[in-house]
Amino acid sequence: MEHIVNRHGLNMPKLGLGTWPMVGEDCTRAVLQALELGYRHIDTAAGYQNEDAVGAALAATSVPREQIHVTSKVWWDQLEPQALRASFERSLRDLRSEYVDLFLIHWPTPDMNLRRTLDVIADLKERGLARAIGVANFPLALLREAVETIGAPLAAIQVEYHVTLGQQKLLDFVRQHEMALTAYSPLARNRVSEIPEIVAIARKHGVLPTQIALAWLLEQPGVAAVPKAAGKSNQTSNLESLDVRLDDEDRATIAALPKNERLVNPAFAPQWDDAA
């Protein structure tokens, strides 16, 4: 499977398994099955309350831990240094791991002390407990402050990104800084299967609309995607989207779709940049 590698310690397979909102045995089963199918990238978070279930799968699988990329995240109410360190330690304990491969600030908050928060996660990276660090749901101005003003060694940002939500400004920035962008809700929670243009492209190639939506993300340099799928059939077809090739006509059709359909916008979300 193709990996994204960068100078800030990242070595991340382009396709991962999203685990929210799975918990408990269902989550363990789904992760174990994904590992069996060939997934080597699992996306979890303290906020998903499933790190213990992911950890159970990591302990039970025959796939060696060092062959699996695990991303986890700290929730926005745990960003004070002491709380952040404690949350990270719980993550390691629940994941039954000595390190995480990528550790993210899950959401920014208006009153966070950005420099102090970034210093804590940079220290986790220096100590080898987080192989790489990054952020999620940061608008461009805040990401710029983190990377250019503060100089934090961020390897990646995770944001909502799919055929009907653009992220061009963030993509331009991360490419300039040799970072990765992980697309969450990459299937727009399966709404992509109802977009006539995507259905038509899928029919032309003899594949599923979800595979077209993922192939479009995965062909982009520096972009990874973490579709969530509980069952074997959806996990398999999502994995097989790595083999789907789009042509220029497909790309033009997808480029012309609306790019402002944001699905994840909780009350604590920051002021987003205009989608582009």
Ligand X SMILES: NC(=O)c1ccc[n+]([C@@H]2O[C@H](COP(=O)([O-])OP(=O)(O)OC[C@H]3O[C@@H](n4cnc5c(N)ncnc54)[C@H](OP(=O)(O)O)[C@@H]3O)[C@@H](O)[C@H]2O)c1
**Which of the residues are catalytic?**
48
Residue from 11, 109, 190, 220 binding ligand X (CB under 6 A) = 190
Q: Is the sign of the CA dihedral 37, 209, 48, 9 positive or negative?
A: positive
Name the residue nearer to ligand X (CB basis): 11 or 237: 237
Site membership for ligand X, residue 185 (CB under 6 A): yes
Closest to 40 in 3D by CA, of 5, 4, 70: 70
Cβ-contact 96, 55 below 8 angstroms:
yes
Total interface residues for ligand X by CB under 6 A: 26
Cβ neighbors of 12 (< 8 A, separation 6 or more) are 3, 4, 5, 41, 69, 71, 101, 102, 132, 156, 180, 182, 224
Identify which range of 85-93, 143-151, 178-186, 216-224 contacts ligand X by CB under 6 A.
178-186
Phi, psi of 33 (to 5 degrees): -65, -40
Name the residue nearer to ligand X (CB basis): 145 or 240: 240
Site for ligand X in 146-165 (CB under 6 A): 158
Q: How far is the CB of 207 from ligand X (least distance, A)?
A: 10
The whole-angstrom separation of Cα 5 and Cα 14 is: 10
Name the residue nearer to ligand X (CB basis): 20 or 272: 20
Name the residue nearer to ligand X (CB basis): 62 or 266: 266
Closest to 4 in 3D by CA, of 37, 38, 40: 40
The whole-angstrom separation of Cα 173 and Cα 188 is: 23
Q: How far is the CB of 265 from ligand X (least distance, A)?
A: 10
Site membership for ligand X, residue 217 (CB under 6 A): no
Which token pair is 14? 């382009």
Site for ligand X in 102-121 (CB under 6 A): 106
Which token pair is 136? 């999620």
Site membership for ligand X, residue 13 (CB under 6 A): no
136 CA to centre of own chain: 8
Q: How far is the CB of 29 from ligand X (least distance, A)?
A: 12
Site membership for ligand X, residue 188 (CB under 6 A): yes
Residue from 33, 117, 137, 167 binding ligand X (CB under 6 A) = 137
Site membership for ligand X, residue 227 (CB under 6 A): yes
Which token pair is 229? 């799928």
Site for ligand X in 56-85 (CB under 6 A): none
Residue from 46, 54, 129, 187 binding ligand X (CB under 6 A) = 187
The contact mask relative to ligand X for 16-45 (x = CB under 6 A, - = no) is --xxx----------------------x--
Residue from 234, 257, 262, 275 binding ligand X (CB under 6 A) = 234
Binding site for ligand X (CB under 6 A): 18-20, 43, 106, 136-137, 158, 184-190, 210, 226-231, 234, 237-238, 264
